[in-house]
Amino acid sequence: VDLVLIHDPDDHWRQAVDEAYPALHELRSQGVVGAIGAGMNQWRMLERFATETDVDAVMLAGRYTLLEQSAADTMLPTCLRQNVAVLAAGVFNGGVLATDELDPGAMFDYAPASPQLRAKVARIAEVVHRHGASLPQVAMAFAAAHPAIASVVVGARSEAEVRRNAALFERPVPSAVWEELVAAGLLRPDVRPGA
């Protein structure tokens, strides 16, 4: 097994650290498991894993995206310092950034996106399209640009989505996209790729 993650131990920190982590640590030391870590859709506990254990990687879902960068302030820098690879998952925030045509029923973090959030996504898409790029392309590229991010993990429902995501991931995003998103107040200046 290449990588084993403790999944969503939100309310079970002691059990995860005192039971699951030592078992995985032992399997890694035996060579049964290549790497160990934790995965969840909040960053605080992942930051604790990075500082209080010897994990190799963490999977961060939805907390470093075009719409939310809450992990940028302390968690991602901590992972860089601790040499903990970050797998960025949920970069489409549950679907609202997954397509160029904004669906009225678009989801954000497992719930229908609010009208305000849909309006923000529409403004982001307008900037992205003006530069000949695609919203999911920019969403994946944004996460991938951070030096702590080792890989971007995206879900797909079909072979066509897998192929589309792979093709979009390979396309470079014009730097003007990031500059305009920052100038429009749609992206924090300190997380702009290339900054």
Identify the three-state secondary structure at position 176. helix
Q: How confident is the model at residue 11 (pLDDT cuts 50, 70, 90)?
A: confident
Average pLDDT over residues 43-68: 97
Q: What are phi and psi of 166, to 5 degrees?
A: -65, -45
Q: What's the gap between Cα 76 and its chain centre?
A: 11
Average pLDDT over residues 92-105: 91
Residue 155 has pLDDT above 90, yes or no: no
Burial class of residue 8 (count of CB atoms within 10 Å of its CB; 0-12, 13-18, 19+): middle
Distance CA 20, CA 122 (A): 42
Q: For Cα atoms 5, 76, 115, give the angle at the middle one, nearest 5 degrees.
A: 90
What is the identity of the amino acid at 72? A
pLDDT (0 to 100) of residue 140: 98
Q: How confident is the model at residue 8 (pLDDT cuts 50, 70, 90)?
A: confident
Instruction: Pick the closest to residue 99 from 122, 131, 132 (CA basis).
Output: 122
Q: Write down the mean pLDDT value for the chain.
A: 95
Q: What's the gap between Cα 132 and its chain centre?
A: 23
